[in-house]
Structure 1
């Protein structure tokens, strides 16, 4: 009996490992010499199994393949947010990836470069700065271009290695949350890494609002709450208008309630079903 339990445990461990493939991404097209020793992971809420990642200096991808269903040949880059200071790695990353793989997608969760935090009190300064968004923006500003570059590098990697990973190189979408939505929008605005679709969810769009919409823009789906804690619904509406003005296909959902960070939450509200609306939209447009 003990042997059976031991073998079952090994099988579970092996299954968990085989479902994920970790890839270190180059920076500026060059192999990263940084070993990433600064990166830290912790669980902020003892009652939750949701991990938070900070001090990322080496961008990387965790690749998840379809589970229990046949691959649909499409991949999705999943970009968690956290004000470019932290990554809500499970709530806006792994949980979303798992949901996608159950539907036949290959998912790749991105860790991108972040603002350096003090290991002794990593979130104290962040919480203080978050009280004044202007201050927070000024601190984030230098790292935003680096994070966007990491997102584009991730798209290049997925396209280059699509055949090996089991999907079509022309069928790679991106979903990003908050700061990750900045990256998702920036990817949609770049002709070189044009995604199959882009879904910025409650996105921070300040850094990309002045970037012109490209010719032949990819389809864009945006979801945000009217009571968003940072007022991100306003720029989401403007981004939608810009996309339509650029002859792009776009769908926008502004939910009355949901606040910021609703990605994997269950609040008993219509916003809980944003991912279902995204899947319906993709299906209706025959995008996937």
Structure 2
């Protein structure tokens, strides 16, 4: 993997990153040089019962590993919420706490949504990958062990990072654009995938692309159509009972990964409604963290850092 020299990252970017000294959280700005296409008239963010909306200043919140010896793996977490709000508590903080027990460093992404629309969320997630990779040494992580995990619309954003990491829309002309934005692996929880057809989640499409999106945008952001052999290894988790984002979304992505010969694993459970997070009492679906841990271990992502 090609990284730029450290001198490229001096100034505002280096100043923005302050490594946490303990597993406690720290929050860092995603765009210390200024948010691209900023909209200063949007007013304050709204925070309500673990959900965040009206985001105009994207950030990463850092959660250190909850073990003595971190393994060098990092996960950028994209909470869901239909590109309208972010379920930060259930699909961000909770995942980070679990990943911490596995020795993983987590970065919960607060990204822009319907107030900006496409391509702002894509730019935010790709900037997050570049920023974390650029600062890998500071966070004691490996630049070739950076994954993206997302739920629902956050799963769509994670899948977008895994398929559109080199797209021109993901660049702003900043020095960090020279760093690879390709995630090394993906974990997709009941993800929105397609922007067309009977399996579409219409609310996510409208919030991201508008009420009357162009055919080109619909195709581009139907991420099952963007899979290539270079798409990262992927774990998919979904349920039959999901009445909000049909299970066909995960199936479409898995089929595309299989055609492209990308290593992929998929667990489709009977029980569990949309947005289940890490809820107990859902039969075998509640054991998905164990299945995910097995997948991470099998891929060497929980091996001690060298």
Bin the TM-score by the shorter chain. 0.7 to 0.9
Number of residue pairs matched by the alignment = 240
1:69 aligns with 2:68: yes
> CA contact under 8 A between 1:196 and 1:287: conserved in structure 2?
no
Return the match for 1:41 from 22, 30, 47.
Answer: 47
1:248 aligns with 2:292: no
C-alpha distance 258-148 of structure 1, shift in aligned 2 (>3 A): same
Distance in 1 separating the partners of 2:53 and 2:288 = 27
> CA contact under 8 A between 2:23 and 2:64: conserved in structure 1?
no
> CA contact under 8 A between 2:51 and 2:85: conserved in structure 1?
yes
C-alpha distance 202-64 of structure 1, shift in aligned 2 (>3 A): same
SS at match of 1:69: coil
1:181-260 to 2 correspondence within 5 Å?
Answer: 181-189=155-163, 190-191=165-166, 192-206=180-194, 207-209=221-223, 211-260=225-274
2:119 aligned partner: 145
Distance in 2 separating the partners of 1:175 and 1:168 = 17
C-alpha distance 170-26 of structure 1, shift in aligned 2 (>3 A): same
1:244-283 to 2 correspondence within 5 Å?
Answer: 244-283=258-297
SS at match of 1:164: coil
Distance in 1 separating the partners of 2:228 and 2:182 = 10
1:129 aligned partner: none
Distance in 2 separating the partners of 1:165 and 1:34 = 31
C-alpha distance 244-153 of structure 1, shift in aligned 2 (>3 A): same
TM-score by length of structure 1 reads 0.77
Distance in 2 separating the partners of 1:232 and 1:209 = 15
| CA deviation after TM superposition for structure 1 residue 74, in Å | 0.6
1:176 aligns with 2:175: no
Distance in 2 separating the partners of 1:98 and 1:186 = 24
> CA contact under 8 A between 1:185 and 1:208: conserved in structure 2?
no
Distance in 2 separating the partners of 1:108 and 1:102 = 15
| CA deviation after TM superposition for structure 1 residue 34, in Å | 6.6
- Greater Cα radius of gyration, structure 1 or 2: 1
Moved over 4 A (4+): 15-18, 33-37
1:139 aligned partner: none
1:59 aligned partner: 58
> CA contact under 8 A between 2:228 and 2:257: conserved in structure 1?
no
C-alpha distance 238-165 of structure 1, shift in aligned 2 (>3 A): same
2:211 aligned partner: none
1:31 aligned partner: 34
Structure 1 residue ranges without an equivalent (≥5): 1-14, 44-50, 117-141
SS at match of 2:290: helix
Structure 2 residue ranges without an equivalent (≥5): 1-19, 167-179, 195-220
> CA contact under 8 A between 2:76 and 2:148: conserved in structure 1?
yes
> CA contact under 8 A between 2:23 and 2:65: conserved in structure 1?
no
| CA deviation after TM superposition for structure 1 residue 18, in Å | 6.4
| CA deviation after TM superposition for structure 1 residue 230, in Å | 2.1
Q: Deviations over 1:241-263 (max 9, x none)?
A: 10010010001111111120111
